[in-house]
Chains A and B, each alone.
Chain A
Amino acid sequence: MHDRKTQRVFGVATHLALVPLAIVTLIPFVWLVLAAFKTPEDFSGSLFLPRDDSGAIDLTRLTWMNFVSLFRDVGLGRAMLNSIFLSSMTAVLATLCAAAGGYALARFRFFGRNAMTLLVLGAIIIPPPLLLAPSYQLLFNLHLLDTFTGLILPAIAPAFGIFLFRQATRQSVPESLIEAARIDGASEVGIFVSIVLPLVRPMIGAFMLLTFLMVWNNFIGPQVVLQTAERYPLSVAVAQMRGLYRQDYGLLMAGTLVSILPVAGLFLLLQREFIQGLTSGAVKG
């Protein structure tokens, strides 16, 4: 179709369009990271790298002070532990329950299976804000307000996860394998743990990461359920900093940076498994 030369010209033109867009996308990150290492004077005095009185770039003005006061004075370490606990606990439990439910829908012929599948699909389309006020009322009645249980428990059996694991099981767990194990006398729970779980491993990794990210970034849930500052996860604690340290821009950006680094690192580390797992189960099947 195209000869070599036009193709190359085309390629260069594409890069000429993409590079500025990529830079514009990344600049806020660079600005955020640098702001986290600057004093309030340098934040307003220089846009990116701090400058000395003569206007030359002076890297020695960068400081760790924002991070020190973040953990010493603001107490963000506690919030980080809360975030880690809430996110990993929910991720593990939700993945386990979703895998079990998805397996049941995919590989059992039982009374009410179609109804159950409809129930799962119906649960997916309920918009979360609709349940906000009644869930608060319910947690109040159950004396679960201001507890981690009140946050974790409603999230441990997500319909969306059951749907994903249903697709993954259909695709990668052969019926014959399960039958063979039954004939060998394996228990149903044994089959699930030793045959099904290993076979849907890509989805386990992807869904655990997805849930971890979702809980980590969730604001409205902990904002509504929790009342004691010591229990706040990073999302709520960092948002509160905005009111408390209005002018301390470096501190605000340090808090934001500390909150996004763990999840960004986790994603970059696992991104291949993440994308493979989600696409293998969700798109086909």
Chain B
Amino acid sequence: MARAPTNANKAAYLFLAPFLVVFAVFTLYPLVLSGVLAVQQTHGPDHARFVGLDNFIGLATDPLFHKALGNTIIYTLGSLLIQLPLALGLAMLLNQPSLRGRWFYRLIFFSPQLMGLVFVAMLAALVFEKRAGLLNQALQWALDGWLDPETAFPWMAVLDGVTWLDFPWLQSFVMPALILVSLWMYIGYNMVYFLAALQSIDKSLVEACAVDGAGPVTRFFAVTVPSIRPVASFVVLLSLIGSLQLFELPYILLDQTAGPQNRGLTIVMYLYQSGFEAGDLGYASAIGWVLALMLVALALGQVFIMRREER
């Protein structure tokens, strides 16, 4: 500990230099610039005009932005309310010490995650295709003869007289299709977190509970839920953050569009379209700020809830 501190300073900053330079140029400066851009209207990167808060006022009344917001929220709810409970269920099935081939199942359920969003979207585009697509073929095989789309969804006029082979996923059911794809892609990923949490539950606690005569449902709520709460809230937060930034999946699934009547438009897709298809980097930055504020609010809310529960 007799080193001259200046030497330690020099060495430490030498090692941190790449980060500091890259951070200053490619994170900090763009962050400031996005604040500047948010009060401008631009035509491409070289024509800008100051517009004050017009971008934000515009967003508040922009029906496309509202559509994007609504779709993104539907997708997020789908992830939270459908996917996470199923992932937990799957993890509980796998969390049996005597279960053979556990690592094999885990690898299988995790594997779609490795494919990458773009390539999953490419595959999904054909899976959801009418007639030749895998899903409609499977639906036709399984349901033909005893349940028509028309009877299954009587309130959907578009399905009148439609067979399962022609079920219009990418035309009329874009959000359900996206929720299905993300279920396939991420359930194993979330399951891995839940499984790790379940495995770290104190066995003696479960046994004590069972000795007291508690059934499996009571044990689940008395022991399992409180024990996995920290991991679960982390998984919920990750899911929220990821879902709100949905872009690649619908964009490629719908062939680089937002789909018919913008049924697949999401917040980040609208940001992309505004900035790089319409060329208004200012409006895009304003959307970016709204998204960032939503994410920060959610993260703070999460911390707040966790704190309050700890007391």
Q: Are A137 and B45 in contact (CB under 8 A)?
A: yes
A27 CB contacts on chain B under 8 angstroms: 134
Q: Are B93 and A101 in contact (CB under 8 A)?
A: no
Q: Is B271 touching A97 in the complex (CB atoms < 8 A)?
A: no
Q: Chain A nearest CB: distance from B237 CB in Å?
A: 11
Contact across chains for B16 and A47 when beta carbons are under 8 A apart: no
Q: Quick one: which of A135, A249, A255, A259 contacts B26, CB cutoff 8 A?
A: A135
Over the window 248-268 of chain A, the binary record of Cβ atoms lying under 8 Å from chain B Cβ atoms (1 yes, 0 no) is: 010011011001100110010
Chain B 1-28 against A: per-residue CB contact (8 Å), 1 yes, 0 no? 0010101110111111011011101110
Central interface residue in B8, B188, B241, by most chain A CB within 10 Å: B8
Nearest chain B CB to A279 CB, angstrom units: 8
Q: Are A235 and B118 in contact (CB under 8 A)?
A: yes
Q: Contacts A44-B132, A157-B22 hold; do A22 and B108 have CB atoms under 8 A apart?
A: yes
Give the shortest distance, in Å, between B185 (CB) and chain A (any CB): 10
B272 interface residue per 8 A CB criterion: yes
By the criterion CB–CB under 8 Å, are A129 and B288 in contact? yes
B132 touches A43 (CB 8 A): yes
CA distance A267 to B107 in the complex (A): 11
Are B119 and A217 in contact, with the CB atoms below 8 A? yes
B126 touching A253 by the CB < 8 A rule?
Answer: yes
Residues from chain B with Cβ under 8 Å of A14 in the complex: 93, 96, 99
Please pick, from A47, A108, A120, the residue contacting B8 in the complex, using a CB distance under 8 A: A108
Question: Can you name the residue of chain B whose Cβ is closest to the Cβ of A140?
Answer: B45
- Cβ-defined contact, B292 with A127, below 8 A: yes
The answer to whether A116 and B210 have CB atoms under 8 Å apart is no
- Tell me the chain A residues, 17-58 only, with Cβ under 8 Å from chain B: 17-18, 21-22, 25-29, 31-32, 35, 43-44, 47
Asked if A103 and B15 make an inter-chain contact with CB atoms under 8 angstroms apart, the answer reads yes
Q: Among the listed stretches B31-39, B58-66, B76-84, which one makes contact with chain A, having 4 or more residues with CB under 8 Å of it? A: B31-39
Contact among B34, B134, B267 with A47 in the assembled complex (CB-CB below 8 Å): B134
Residues on A with C-beta less than 8 A from B291 are 127, 129-130
CB pair A47–B137 under 8 Å, yes or no, is yes
- Provide the residues of chain B in CB contact with A89, threshold 8 Å: none
Chain B interface, number of residues (Cβ within 8 angstroms) = 85
Report how far A108 CA is from B16 CA in the complex, Å.
11
Q: Kindly supply a per-residue 1/0 record for chain A positions 221-240, scoring 1 wherever the CB is within 8 Å of any chain B CB and 0 otherwise.
A: 00010000000000100110
For A128, list chain B residues within 8 Å (CB): 245
Separation in Å of the A40 CB from the closest CB of chain B?
A: 9
**Given known A-B contacts A242-B122, A256-B122, A263-B114, A129 and B271 have beta carbons under 8 A apart:** yes
Q: Is the CB of A192 within 8 A of B15?
A: yes
Bound CA–CA A144/B130 (angstroms): 42
B75 interface residue per 8 A CB criterion? no
CA distance A271 to B108 in the complex (A): 13
CB neighbors of B among A156-189 (8 A): 156-157, 159, 162, 182, 188-189
Which of B143-151, B152-160, B171-179, B247-255 interfaces with chain A? B247-255
Q: Are A25 and B19 in contact (CB under 8 A)?
A: no
Say whether, besides A11-B98, A22-B108, A131 and B34 are in contact (CB < 8 Å): yes
- Given that A109-B8, A239-B256, A242-B125 are contacting pairs, would A11 and B96 also be in contact in the complex, using a CB cutoff of 8 Å? yes
| Smallest beta-carbon distance B163→chain A, Å | 16
Q: Which of B13, B19, B37, B207 lies in contact with A1, CB distance below 8 A?
A: B207
Q: Which residues of A contact B268 (CB under 8 A)?
A: 129
A238 & B119 in contact (Cβ 8 Å cutoff): yes
Which residue from A101, A111, A134, A238 sits with its C-beta under 8 Å from B18? A101
Is the beta-carbon distance between B123 and A32 smaller than 8 angstroms? yes
- Contact pattern, B 202-233, Cβ under 8 Å of A = 1, otherwise 0: 00000100100000000000000000000000
- In the bound complex, residues from chain A placing their C-beta under 8 Å from that of B284 are 132-133
Q: Could you tell me if B134 and A127 are in contact, using CB atoms closer than 8 angstroms?
A: no
Q: Does A123 contact B (CB under 8 A)?
A: yes
Is B139 part of the binding interface, using a Cβ–Cβ cutoff of 8 Å? no
Question: Are B15 and A130 in touch, CB under 8 angstroms?
Answer: no
Chain B, Cβ-Cβ closest to A4: B98
Q: Are A238 and B295 in contact (CB under 8 A)?
A: no
Binding site for A on B (CB under 8 A): 3, 5, 7-9, 11-16, 18-19, 21-23, 25-27, 29-31, 33-34, 37, 45-46, 90, 93-94, 96, 98-100, 105, 107-109, 111-112, 114-119, 121-123, 125-127, 129, 131-132, 134, 137, 184, 188, 207, 210, 241, 245, 247-248, 252, 255-256, 267-268, 271-272, 275-276, 281-282, 284-285, 288-289, 291-292, 295-296, 299
Taking A110-B9, A132-B284, A157-B19 as known contacts, 7 extra A-B pairs with beta carbons closer than 8 A to each other, sorted by chain A number, are A1-B207, A18-B105, A100-B16, A127-B291, A219-B118, A235-B118, A253-B122
A-B contact pairs, 23 of them (CB 8 A): A11-B98, A22-B105, A28-B127, A32-B123, A125-B296, A126-B31, A128-B245, A129-B267, A130-B34, A133-B288, A135-B26, A135-B30, A140-B46, A153-B26, A213-B116, A217-B117, A220-B272, A224-B276, A235-B119, A239-B256, A243-B256, A253-B123, A264-B114
The 4 A-B pairs with the shortest beta carbon distances in the complex, nearest first, are A217-B116, A154-B26, A134-B33, A104-B15
Give residues in A with beta carbon < 8 Å to B: 1, 7, 10-11, 14-15, 17-18, 21-22, 25-29, 31-32, 35, 43-44, 47, 97-98, 100-101, 103-105, 108-111, 113, 116, 119-120, 123, 125-138, 140-141, 153-154, 156-157, 159, 162, 182, 188-189, 192, 213, 216-217, 219-220, 224, 235, 238-239, 242-243, 249, 252-253, 255-256, 259-260, 263-264, 267, 271
